């Protein structure tokens, strides 16, 4: 005796709606994960030991730029923005001497500046600029 399976059109449409909703959620999550996600972290009172490029007795501010996203990003320069718009914003010379730095997913790079040159009370935030002109802020 042959086995007969009957599937109604309502069941098929519900199945298609559930699967398409699930795939839509997966695609949105992939899109959000695939974006550029750069963080800027600032660490004052750092010293560099054993390097001929930096003085052992000088305190530095270490600006760490991290790529937490999946897209490669090229950091062009790093600087700061002051609280008062009448004062000048600044760019770190360390970001020019080494040139643009390409950060693939999960990579980071450091920029140093002498702490005596920076007044934290006047700075609103530190910023990294990529070659596409985007700003990534950190404090």
- Look at residue 86 and tell me whether its pLDDT is greater than 80: no
Quickly count: other Cβ atoms within 10 Å of residue 103's Cβ. Answer: 22
CA 9 to CA 16: how far, in whole Å?
11
- Encode 61-94: b = buried (16+ Cβ within 10 Å), e = exposed: bbbebbbebeeebebbbbbbeeeeeeeeebebeb
- Look at residue 97 and tell me whether its pLDDT is greater than 90: no
Distances (CA, A) of 45 to 39, 41, 57, 58, 61: 20, 13, 11, 9, 6
| Token reading at 31 | 């899109």
pLDDT at 44: 92
Q: pLDDT band for 57, please (50, 70, 90 cuts).
A: confident
CA 83 to CA 72: how far, in whole Å?
31
pLDDT at 50: 84
What value does the mean pLDDT take over residues 130-138?
91
What is the CA angle 101-112-52, rounded to 5? 100
pLDDT at 75: 94
What value does the mean pLDDT take over residues 95-101?
86
CA 130 to CA 20: how far, in whole Å?
37
Mean residue pLDDT across the chain: 89
pLDDT at 4: 83
- Residue from 5, 116, 128 nearest 58 by CA: 116
pLDDT tens for each residue of 5-53:
888 889 899 999 999 999 999 999 888 877 888 999 999 999 988 877 7
């Amino acid at each position: 005796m042959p086995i007969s399976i009957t599937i109604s059109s309502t069941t098929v449409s519900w199945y298609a709606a559930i699967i398409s909703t699930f795939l839509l959620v997966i695609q949105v999550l992939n899109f959000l994960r695939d974006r550029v996600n750069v963080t800027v972290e600032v660490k004052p009172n750092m010293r560099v030991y054993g390097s001929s490029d930096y003085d052992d007795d000088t305190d530095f501010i270490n600006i760490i730029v991290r790529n937490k996203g999946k897209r490669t990003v090229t950091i062009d320069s790093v600087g700061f923005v002051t609280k008062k718009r009448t004062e000048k914003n600044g760019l770190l010379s360390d970001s020019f001497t080494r040139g643009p730095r390409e950060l693939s997913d999960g990579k980071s790079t450091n920029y140093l500046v002498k702490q005596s040159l920076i007044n934290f009370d006047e700075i609103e935030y530190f910023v990294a600029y990529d070659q596409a002109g985007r700003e990534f802020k950190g404090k």
